[in-house]
Amino acid sequence: MRLKRNGSYTLIGKSKGKPNGKKPAPEEKKLYLEPEYTKSRITDFEFKELVMLPREIDLNEWLASNTTTFFHHINLQYSTISEFCTGESCQTMAVCNTQYYWYDERGKKIKCTAPQYVDFVMSSVQKLVTDEDVFPTKYGKEFPNSFESLVKKICKYLFHVLAHIYSSHFKETLALELHGHLNTLYTHFILFIREFNLVDLKETTVMDDLTEVLCSSSGSSSNGSGNGSSNSAGAQNHVKER
């Protein structure tokens, strides 16, 4: 069965994150963890049930449909604060104490600003999800053998974008009264990637505090493979370069 994919609700680069090498400054209070804001959602739907694979749907088709939808929603969410995410305000693609670099198709390391990094991500993912050979929409056309690995890369990069919005632009999101949308999107996305083990837990450790708060009531303490957030408790709050 082919699922309709829309924006309503070969990745040539790669990225790595690592501590920025500087002595970390005293950590600021994370506004997005304040209870008055974490409880804000646009729906009380049980996302744990929503992300589960329906029995009559092919796994790759389910991954393709959801990945495409998340791409459009995260791109839209970022667009609401993009005027505040500039080369001057966000000189690196940073999330808390983690700095991400982009690597081009030749493996060259590129230190870029946050808006440049996001543009690399969105442009690359856009090419993928509109490529009929990678994300087929016509009945009978097969998914490539590399499809799952491509989905994993896409989800990793989309996580970086979501995490940057929280880390650097939550105040603007709050001023726009879009924090409920952001919380809902984040919860849905995290439960989806955990259900199908699409992103390494070490990659998402940087936002474990938020994940625990937002997803604890959505059945995230134990995902489909038993790799709940508790497994990474006590881990360092940064992603090491691998």
Does the annotation list 73 as a binding residue? no
- What 3-state DSSP class applies to 19? strand
In our burial notation (b when 16+ CB lie closer than 10 A, e otherwise), range 18-30 reads eeeeeeeeeeeee
Does the annotation list 179 as a binding residue? no
Cβ neighbours of 177 (radius 10 Å): 9
Does the annotation list 238 as a binding residue? no
Does the annotation list 164 as a binding residue? yes
Cβ neighbours of 195 (radius 10 Å): 21
Distance CA 239, CA 164 (A): 14
Dihedral of alpha carbons 112, 117, 119, 121, sign: positive
Distance CA 18, CA 242 (A): 8
The C-alpha angle 7, 134, 164, rounded to 5 degrees, equals 50
Strand segments, DSSP code E, in the chain are 14-19, 93-95, 98-103, 109-110
Give the annotated binding-site residues: 85, 90, 164, 169
Give the annotated binding-site residues for Zn(2+): 85, 90, 164, 169
